[in-house]
Structure formats: structure tokens, C-alpha cells
Structure 1
């Protein structure tokens, strides 16, 4: 994970504003650079680096001798950078995957470049010859990006909103606001001689389920064997994400998604002859179901396994700093982030793993949430799956990015691979629904012949996080409710719609999180447009624990 930051058209001395860039230092602990743009008034790039590839030439903003008019700051991984090099006969001067963005842009423009990228990314590209600034973000928003644009021509971009907060406080244009940059889009801005910026256009280069333009190792699929196609595309997704010069590890909850990813990573690392064992990491309170299941998986695949057991007090103690990193007050996002945050903290402190795989995205793509059992029709289930995928950047993907980047780790999410998603979501809607009372049936069936996982893990039902990490004595959900009951009274909750008119909290837990959020990010409630909740049910809480199917 890296942190990118840039400003264009500032009326203030750039040196007075650079301190805001330090707010995202956690994303890149290996190196830091602030660099002014030559001959451009008050235009500046900032970069915090987490070194994954090319120690020598990986610092940013990136410039190469063959394209001296281009400046690039990006956070992400471009998995097909060698493929595009061969396809277009590019002459790379570094081993950095991001260099492909410069050559693709130079070849065909910004939309051409974005459409040919297979990876996860947020980038800021400056063309000083054409006097244009470009911003782009990957299809699912796996890599974060926020921007601030004022009517008087000031543009600021940052990986996290907190890196722009100081800038917004100093602006006289109070109509300007910090907003998340939309995934799957690019934007173009004109840069005047004064340094001021004018918005030019926005375009969408990729939609959920679209066939990508770029070439991949799997060119053809078997029309008669959907299970083989699922196996091949997911295996390819994991394989391409092994691109790293740092040690690889896996989050392992013991559920289907993380277990399958961990098993594939372990298998492929051995095939590549990596000279270290795969490290896997699980978390929970003493005696939790997730810890027990993860241990079975680790023993089965032969990983070097680490258990991070947390107490109720430890979980509660990180809520304030967690919400600061998440930049969210969504209930389920915060609940489910505690374990991942504590795992990431442990990994950084106690191990040398830096690139971390996880199972995010499978539930959205493959209709894995328990409430999909209640979908009225295949068409409505398909529509809901697309909606979840489009909004991932505000919920599960946000959680996974911020909890890992808070501790200087790099996240990899193979279930959100373009080729896999396109393959899976192009299947008929009726076959993607839960089958025989089992969610993600197609994925389980596809890998049932490979002997990668124990049967009880491969067919393990979906766990709500608050139950999966819970102690056999008391659930994490109950721990939170008891703590919050002492922090928020009935009168406060009754006045919540007046105190917080946008997205008013309806429970004491929601009120508690919102108070912490407003302390760190006053007036920024619109970053969370709605609370994540199950569909097609009368659920009063976002956890699957409230659903009848889950209780059964």
C-alpha cells in the first residue's frame, strides 16, 4: 500500500500545505517525498512509499527519460504490465508495474490507458506539454482516492480524506467539499498558465461484469464446463497477484473465501519455489468458531499459522483509532474491522509478511450473504449483486484497505479480479443464486474435486463476523452492546435526528460510532450515503445474526 497526494492551483505557498500529506504517512512507511512541479505555480506531488517491487526506481512521482513531459503518482498494482509491454512493444526503463500507465497514456490517451489496465489503482497523471491533469481509479475502488475541487481552480487529490482535511479548512470557497473519487472512472482537468485548474470531462472506462480490453493468460473458456472456468479464472487471479519482492501472507478466518484463497496461495507459492512458508493469520476471542476453523485449514495446507486472540477490552479500546482510519461510521463496517485491524497490527509488529491476501469481494460477486436466500427472484438477486459490487468501495473494500494500510501492509483481493468477476457474473442469473440452502454453491462445487480444503471447510456455512470471532461465553455483538449502553443514554438517541440530520443513527451503537466519526471528521457524514443492511427481510441490525436462515 502507498499513499498519494497532490495539489494544483493553490493560492498559498505549497510549503504551508504539505503537512496535510503527512496525515497518510501510515500507508507508506518505507520512504517519503514531496516534489514541486517545475515551472508550474504551486503544483506539488506527495508520496509515501511501501516498497513492493523495484527498490531502485520505485520512488514517485515517477518520470522516465523517454517521456519527460509526464508526471505520475499512483497507488496500486498493474498485473498485466508485462503483457502490455509485449503487446505494444514498450521500452520500459524500470521494473515498476506503474510505468505501463505512462506508456499506455502516451500511446492512446487516458481512456485507452485506463481500459487496458488489469489491476487495482488510483493515479494522478500530469501532462505538462498538454497542460492537463488526469485522475483514475480501478473498477471496484480497491485502492482509495478522494478529491477536493473548488470553483476558483484549486484541485487536491489524496488516498485518504484525512490528507485533505487541513486543506479544506484553509479554503475560502466553502462550497467545496472532499468527495470519494468514483471507481471505474477517469477525470480530465485543464491546467492554466496561472496554475489554476478547470474540470474538463469524466468518463467511465469499465463497468462491473464488462469484458476487459486487456489480454490475460486465459484467452478462451470452456462453454461446457462452468466449474472449470471458475477454477481457472480464480487460480489465475491468485497467481498474477503473487507479483511481489516482499513476503506474502494471508488473512484466514476459516470461512470459504479466505480459506480458498489461502490454499491457492500456498499451492502456487510452492510451485514457484518461494523459499519461505506461507504465513496465515486468524483472529477471535478465546474459543471462537473462526479460530477453530482457521486452525483446521492451516493444518491442512501446511501454513505457518498465527492466532491473534483479543479480549473484549482490547476490541473496544481500538474503536476510536479504528474509526479515524476507516473514515466511516457504518455499523457493520466498524464491527467487522476490529479483527482485521488487530491482525494487521500484529503482522507488522511480529512478522515480516507485507503483502496480504484476503477473501473480500466473494460475497458481493457470488451472492454469498445469508440474506440472498430470501431473494424474490434470480433477476433481483443479480441486481442486488451488481449494486453491492458498485458500492464495495464504501464498505468491505474500504474496511480491508484501511485496516491493512493503517499498519503499512499491501492488500490483495483475487475475488475482485476482472476476468473472474466477468466469468462468474456472465453466468445465468438463476444458477448464481444460493442452491440447496448453500450460498456460493458454484464456487464450492468448482473446487470440490481439487482436494484443496477439508470438506467441512469447503461447505462451511457463512458466519456473521460478530459470531465467527465470538467467545463461547459471550458474543462480540453482546460485548459491544453492553459497553455502548453505558456510553449513550435514551435521551441522546431520541434527539439523534436533530443532532445528526443526515443519516440519523437509529440505535445506540450507531450513535456511539457517529459521535467518534464527527469528532475526527466534523460535517463529513455524506461520505457514508447509507447504512449497510440486509435486503428482503425485516432485519433490525446489519448482522446476519438477525436473520432466520442464519439462526437455523
Structure 2
């Protein structure tokens, strides 16, 4: 996890504060930084904030190679198959940095095959000084963030890992300047003219949720052919964790005690022992008072033998960090903000009290495996399948965004095995009926795949679904009740007519008010509120769904 920033086609008066814009994302990479003007391209400035995970000595960016001196790359990502690509195509790597593979792939195959050959998570900007072109690309599910700013009239393009590094520039440009997220699973090609002005010439989607990997799969197809469906699911998830152990920094796991994080933690612990990782895996749980998550996470940690950390928080902590959470999220979605509060506090603890940098988490499981309680109300298996596809298409706006921003706010690198391409392809291509909740139990197929593994206690493997922001709260008082009380005592501007999505409660009005202070008129960042489907509720909390059965 790093931070990237670049601006093309700017006038001098806009480029003088480029260091200020870059340092707006210093939390994404506090180990080192660099900003440079690309002499091979007129009016181009590229910046990088580095969090050193692999190849601490030689992995600095912007990256140029002796073999391709007119090409420059900035990338926030992890390319899990970079060694395979080197062996497969005999690439002469100059560093041990995984993202170097992007430059070699581009010069060998062009941009489209480059993005299709990458097994990993990434957001990159590649500048070809010889052809005077810019290429942008983002990973299939948008695990790594990327914003882009475009002023078509003035030929200006800006990119950044977060909107914080571009919002001041946008306010100084014409009213037609657009700022928003770059779509996951897409790549773009831009031309640069003699004056450094840019023009979009090509935009393509190279991936859709559930698509088959275009790269050589991590798990050979002939091996999978020897397994039944549930064996494949368990094996593919394990191997998704294995490839993500790539790190020169300490690895830990976020652990709520629910199925998703518990499965990931159990697999990481198993693989760490197999690979003789020279330290105990740390697990991190958070909750208020007698929260169900703390109790369940303690059970898992004892079963796995991890170095377990429990973080307790209260209403005062929520009151103190609420506005900062909204700033880091760059969103005013109700569900996303609620669920981000405990994850933000937990990330802060990890940063301040441990030396763990890489954290595994269970994000993506609910989308892939139909984990949300409302899936029980799906009209048909095909409707449920299409909802999984929709959720995965939008995850970069909601749960994926939450997981990235809350961890990166404290310079942690997130790993999410449930969004592995080979795993999601297999899972989403099993018969839709098998993926539906069975006998009132969501994620039944996923649970069944690990029934005989011994990885987890049965009480955890078959634990009822908890909404994260509810599971961390005290049984006596839910988090959304606490938030309602907090915002009711805070002053906001009244009678404001907001563009785009309208707030509809005091809570959502306050979130929008705080969001607008840092990101005025950027309502496009949150195109709709995350809400359950097929049920009639006015609040996104799972507690308002009739099927909710968690304690």
C-alpha cells in the first residue's frame, strides 16, 4: 500500500503547491516520498508516498528502468504473480519490487494484455515518453483506490490515490472539471500534445465480477479438476491467502469472531506455520463492553493460539473520531461510516502499539458468498446471483472503500483474500441454488466447505451473521443508537439543499454536512446509500430485518 499522485497539462500556478497535494496522502506511505517533473513529457509532475512492504532498498518510485529509460511508472499495488511472470517471459528484472513487472509487460504486450496478466491489486499510472502517452489501470474489484480529475477544456489530467490530493486543484479549475473514482477493472489511454495537454483516446473494461483469470492461475486447473466443488472452495481460499503472505513486514489479522475474518485468520496461521514465519501471528479484535464480537474473537484466538489483542472503545471515542472518519472515507454513506468507526479505532491501535504493518481481513465474503441476511428474501437463485455481481461491482464505493481508508489512515496495508480472482471465478460459477442461504443459514456453501477442516470451532463456523457495526457494540446499546445521540447534539447548517443524494435523517444530514466541508459539491463520491434489497426498511442496519437472529 502506497500513495500515488500526478498532474499533467497544468500551468505553473497550479503546480507550485504539488508537495502540499502529495502530503495530503502521506498516511498511505510514510516511509519515503519523492516528487519529480518528468523531463520526457511536457507539463508532467509525478509524486509517490511509499510504504515499504517488498524490496525496501530498491522499490522507490517513480520507477524507470535502464532497459526502458523513457517509461515512468507510479503504482500503488501488490503483484502476486510477479515472479511467475519473470520466469514465464524471461523478464530481466532490475529490482525485487513486484510492480516492475508492469513495465516489462507493457513493452512486451501493450497495455491491454498487461492489465489482464496481473494477478494482484493495483492502481497505476504509466507514462510512455517515447510515444507521448499516459496509461491508467485499476485492479478488478478496486481494492486499491484511484481518483482522477479531468479538465477537458484545458487538457488537464490529475490522478491520486485519494481525492484529498486533488480537491484543491479542482476548485481552482473550470466548473466543468470532473473529479471521481476511476472505475475498477478498467484501463485508459491518453495522448499528450506538444504543450503537455492531454486527451482521452481509449477507455476499456477488461474485467467483470466472476470472470475467469486471463493470467496463468495460481492453482493449476488440472489439480482443481481432481476435487469436488467444496474442496475447490477451501483450497482456492487457502491459496488466495498463501500468495498474499508476500511481505517483508510483519503480518497480522483483523478478527471480529465472525465467519469471514475467522476463516482468514485460521488459514493465515496454518500457512505461517508451514512457511516457518519467524513470529506469532497477531490477531486484533474490537468491541464495546460485552460485545458479541469480542467474546467470539477471543474463542477463535485461543483456538488458533495467536498473539491476541483486544481493543475496547466507548461513546467518547466515537464522539472524538467521527469527523476524522468521514474525512478519511471521503464518503457520506450511512452504513460505511458506522462500520468504519471500530475499524478506524482498531487500525489506530495496531499502528501505535504493534509492529504489524500488513493486515488480513474478511472483506468481500458477504458479496461473493451471499452473506447478507437479506439474501434469504431473494426471489430466485438467479436474482441472488445478480445481486452478488452488483455488490461486487460496487464494493469499491462501500465495504472495499471502508477497509482501505480506515487501515491506510494509519499506514497499514490491507490484504483481502476473498476478492482473489481465481477464488471469485470458481465460487460465482458454482450453481446459483447452492450459493443461496440454506435452512436459514447464510454462506452455507462456504461454511460446508470447511466443515471437516478442523480450522475453527463449530460454534464459530456456524455462528449467526452479525452486522459489523452492531457486533462490536454492547448488547445493551447499539452503535447506531450511540451515533444518533451524538449527532443530535452537534450543530449543523439548517435548510441546506444538497445536490445529488439527499440526506433523510438527522444522522445522514450530519454526515453530509461534515463531508461537504472537505469535499464540497462532490456528491458523486456516494451515488446511493447502501441498503438491503428485497426488504422494506428505512435504516441499513441488519437489526431491522425480520430474519436477524444474532444475539
1:331 Cα deviation after fit: 0.2
Is 1:100 equivalent to 2:98 in the alignment? no
Which residue is 1:51 aligned to?
Answer: 52
Distance in 1 between residues matched to 2:500 and 2:491, nearest whole Å? 19
* Residues 174-253 of structure 1 mapped to structure 2, 5 A cutoff: 174-220=175-221, 221-222=224-225, 225-253=228-256
Cα deviation, residue 167, structure 1: 0.9
Q: Does 1:405 align with 2:408?
A: yes
Mapping of 1:494-505 within 5 angstroms? 495=495, 499-505=497-503
| Superposition map of 1:298-447 within 5 A | 298-447=301-450
Separation in structure 2 between the aligned mates of residue 170 and residue 510 of structure 1, nearest angstrom:
29
Aligned length: 546
SS in 1 for 2:426: helix
* Residue 224 of structure 1, CA deviation: 6.0
Unaligned runs of 5+ in 1: none
Q: 2:164 aligns with which of 162, 178, 182?
A: 162
1:210-252 alpha-carbon deviations (Å, 9 max, x no partner): 1111112311223761011001110010000000000000000
Q: Which residue of 1 aligns with 2:117?
A: 116
Question: SS of the counterpart of 1:534?
Answer: coil
State the alpha-carbon separation in 2 of the partners of residues 311 and 536 from structure 1: 34
Contact 2:293 2:472 in 1 (8 A): yes
Q: Deviations over 1:458-481 (max 9, x none)?
A: 000110123211113322122112
Report matched runs for 1:512-531 at 5 Å. Answer: 512-531=510-529
Q: Is the 8 A contact 1:4 1:46 kept in 2?
A: yes
Distance 2:6 2:28 in 1: 15
2:261 aligned with 1:258, yes or no?
yes
1:279 aligned onto 2:277: no
C-alpha distance after superposition, 1:396-447 (max 9, x if no partner):
0000000000000100000000000000001111111111111111110001
Alignment of 1:422-501 (within 5 A): 422-487=425-490, 492=494, 495=495, 499-501=497-499
Shift, 1:520, TM fit = 1.2
Instruction: Name whichever of 510-519 and 390-399 sits farther off.
Output: 510-519
Q: 2:25 aligns to what SS in structure 1?
A: helix
Cα distance in 1, alignment partners of residues 477 and 17 from structure 2: 50
Give SS of 1:63's match: coil
Identify which range, 192-201 or 410-419, moves more after superposition. Answer: 192-201
CA contact (8 A) 2:41 2:132 kept: no
Contact 2:9–2:195 under 8 Å retained in 1: yes
TM-score, normalised by the number of residues in structure 2: 0.97
Please tell me whether the aligned partners of residues 9 and 194 of structure 1 are also in contact (alpha carbons under 8 angstroms). yes
Alignment root-mean-square deviation, CA = 1.3
Partner of residue 151, structure 2: 150
On the 8 A contact 1:80/1:216 being kept in 2, the answer is no
Alignment equivalent of 1:535, drawn from 533, 536, 540? 533
Q: Do the aligned residues in 1 keep the contact of 2:499 with 2:523 (CA within 8 Å)?
A: no
TM-score by length of 1: 0.97
Query: In the TM superposition, what whole-angstrom CA distance separates every residue of 1:265-298 from its partner, at most 9, and x where no partner exists?
Result: 0110111001100000000101100000000000
Contact 2:40-2:70 at 8 Å conserved across structures: no
Q: Is the 8 A contact 2:40 2:129 kept in 1?
A: no
Residue 45 of structure 1 and its aligned partner are, at CA, apart by 0.6
**Distance (whole Å) between structure 2 residues aligned to residue 83 and residue 77 of structure 1:** 14
Structure 1 residue 488, shift from structure 2 partner: 6.5
Q: What is the SS of the residue equivalent to 2:348?
A: helix
Alignment partner of 1:149: what SS? strand
Counterpart Cα distance in 1 of 2:463 and 2:417? 20
Q: Secondary structure of 1:190's match?
A: strand
Structure 2: unaligned runs, 5 residues or longer: none
Measured after TM superposition, the shift of residue 551 of structure 1 is 4.4
C-alpha displacement of 1:55: 1.2
Would the aligned equivalents of 1:288 and 1:472 in 2 still touch at CA under 8 Å? yes
